Amino acid sequence: MKRALITGITGQDGSYLAEYLLDLGYEVHGLVRHVALQDGRDRLQRLTPILPRLRLHSGSLENAASVFHVVQRVQPDELYHLGAQTFVPYSFEDAFSTLQTNINGTHFVLEAVKQAAPHCRIYFASSSEMFGNADEQPQRETTRFHPRSPYGIAKVAGFHLTRNYREAYQLFACSGIMFNHESPRRGFEFVTRKITQHAARIKRGLAKELPLGNLDAQRDWGFARDYVRAMHAMLQQSTPQDYVVATGETHSVREFCELAFGHVGLNWKDHVVTKPELHRPAEVFTLIGDATRARQELGWSPLMPFRELVESMVDHDLALIDGLKPTP
Catalytic residues: 127, 129, 151
Q: For residue 192, how many other CB atoms are within 10 A of its CB?
A: 21
Listed in sequence order, the residues at least 6 apart from 213 whose beta carbon sits closer than 8 Å to its beta carbon are 274, 275, 276, 277, 278, 279, 280
Contact flag: residue 202 with ligand GDP (CB under 6 A) = no
Shortest distance in whole angstroms from residue 41 CB to ligand GDP: 26
Q: Within 80-109, which residues bind ligand GDP (CB under 6 A)? A: 88
Taking the complex as a whole, how short is the minimal distance between the CB of residue 211 and ligand GDP, in angstroms?
6
Comparison of 57 and 148: residue with beta carbon closer to ligand GDP: 148
Stretch that binds ligand GDP, among 42-50, 65-73, 191-199, 294-302 (CB under 6 A): 191-199
In angstroms, rounded to a whole number, what is the distance separating the alpha carbons of residues 66 and 98? Answer: 19
- Residue 319, Ramachandran bin (φ over 0: left; ψ between -120 and 50: alpha; else beta): alpha
User: Do 22 and 28 form a contact (C-beta atoms < 8 A)?
Assistant: yes
219 in contact with ligand GDP (CB under 6 A): yes
Q: Which stretch binds ligand GDP (CB under 6 A): 77-85, 161-169, 185-193, 232-240?
A: 185-193
191 part of the interface to ligand GDP, by CB under 6 A: yes
Determine the Cα–Cα distance for residues 197 and 191; give it in Å rounded to an integer. 10
- Contact between 180 and ligand NAP by CB under 6 A: the answer reads yes
Strand 251-252, strand 218-219: pairing: antiparallel
Listed ranges 79-87, 111-119, 166-174, 313-321: which one lies at the site for ligand NAP (CB under 6 A): 79-87
Read off the amino acid at residue 252: S
184 touches ligand NAP by CB under 6 A: no
List the single partner that 84 binds among ligand NAP, ligand GDP, none, CB under 5 to 8 Å by kind.
Answer: ligand NAP
Q: State how far the Cα of 55 lies from the Cα of 28, in Å rounded to an integer.
A: 6
Question: Dmax of the chain from CA atoms?
Answer: 58
Binding site residues, ligand GDP, CB under 6 A = 88, 129, 180, 189-192, 194, 212-214, 217, 219, 253, 278, 280, 283-284
